[in-house]
Structure 1
Amino acid sequence: MHIQTKFHGELKIQPDQTWNFPKGIPGFEGEKEFALLPIEGNNTFQVLQSTQAPNVAFIVVNPYTLFESYSFDVDEPTIDLLNIQQEQDVFVLGVLSLKHPFETSTINLQAPLIFQTKTKKAKQMILNNSTFSMRHQIGTLTAEKGGN
């Protein structure tokens, strides 16, 4: 399948690269299918690209790489929607908002993306936890991890 992308132009993708978001993503409810694409030369960040709308793409990262103590419970509606049976069938990504300089970039820790690897379904789950911010600065997270 060929798709037009925001950052890579036209790409041929494999079915195993696509994820179904049954309810879309908040603000993009009409977009139900996304591809998770690598960023060449970068193993940390990826692009979550709509397969239908070239301009709908998000830079995503495993939030635990930046914030080791990040923790939350997946709510029952998400468990049911994604048919989650086992913890090892799930992985989590966070949406980044890139800025210059990079340390001022932010990650949305308040609404993680939950991916179920067996069903290939995903959902952005909104947390009701004031500990986490929608715009948590990457520089702060890097400092927490002991780097700079």
Structure 2
Amino acid sequence: MNIQTKYHGEITVHKDDILYFEKGLPGFPNETQFVLIPLTDDGLFQVLQSTVNEEIGFITTDPFFFKPDYDFEIDDATVEGLGIEHEKDVTVAVILTPQEPFNQSTANLQAPLVINKTNNKARQVILNNTNYLTKHPLFAEESVSAKG
């Protein structure tokens, strides 16, 4: 099927690539179907694009690339709701807030996207009792070393 996108114009997506967010995303409860579209050639950044509303597209990334020690637990209800059977079936992404210059961009580590690759069910999980921020500096280590 063809969809209109925020950053790529009209593209063709395959039904097998659609991610299903049963309850939508926080602030977007009616947006339940998204696709991840590569934004950069290296695959480090993607766009989580609504299949219905072209204006709803979030830049995402793999949080472990920028924060290798990123760690959190998923509650049993989420594991069950997403049908997760094995850790290897899970992909995690985080939504970015792009800034100018780009190295000032932040990542929402407090609400990661958890995706079950086997059934394409996904959910944005809001972590409680954590030190992770909704606007965690993406290039924090780079900034610290540049000041030092």
Could you tell me the TM-score, scaled by structure 1's length?
0.93
CA offset digits 1:93-132 (Å, max 9, x no partner): 0000000111210000000000001111000000003310
Aligned to 1:32: 32
- Residue-pair matches, total: 147
1:75 is matched by which residue type in structure 2?
A: D
Aligned to 1:20: 20
Secondary structure at the aligned position of 1:16 is classed as helix
RMSD, aligned α-carbons: 1.8
Q: Distance in 1 between matches of 2:87 and 2:107?
A: 23
Matched, 1:122 2:122: yes
CA offset digits 1:27-49 (Å, max 9, x no partner): 00100000111124242100100
Moved more, 116-125 or 37-46: 37-46
CA offset digits 1:41-84 (Å, max 9, x no partner): 24210010000000000000000000011000011121111011
Q: Distance in 2 between matches of 1:46 and 1:110?
A: 19
Q: Distance in 2 between matches of 1:128 and 1:35?
A: 27
Q: Which runs of 4+ in 1 moved over 3 A?
A: 141-144
Matched, 1:107 2:103: no
Is contact 2:20-2:34 (8 Å) kept? yes
Is contact 2:115-2:122 (8 Å) kept? yes
Is contact 1:110-1:129 (8 Å) kept? no
Is contact 1:66-1:142 (8 Å) kept? no
Secondary structure at the aligned position of 2:139 is classed as helix
Could you tell me the TM-score, scaled by structure 2's length?
0.93
Secondary structure at the aligned position of 1:81 is classed as helix
Aligned to 1:75: 75
Distance 1:142 1:89, change over 3 A: farther
Moved more, 134-143 or 112-121: 134-143
Runs of 5+ unmatched residues, structure 2? none
Q: Distance in 1 between matches of 2:89 and 2:146?
A: 30
1:128 is matched by which residue type in structure 2?
A: N
Runs of 5+ unmatched residues, structure 1? none
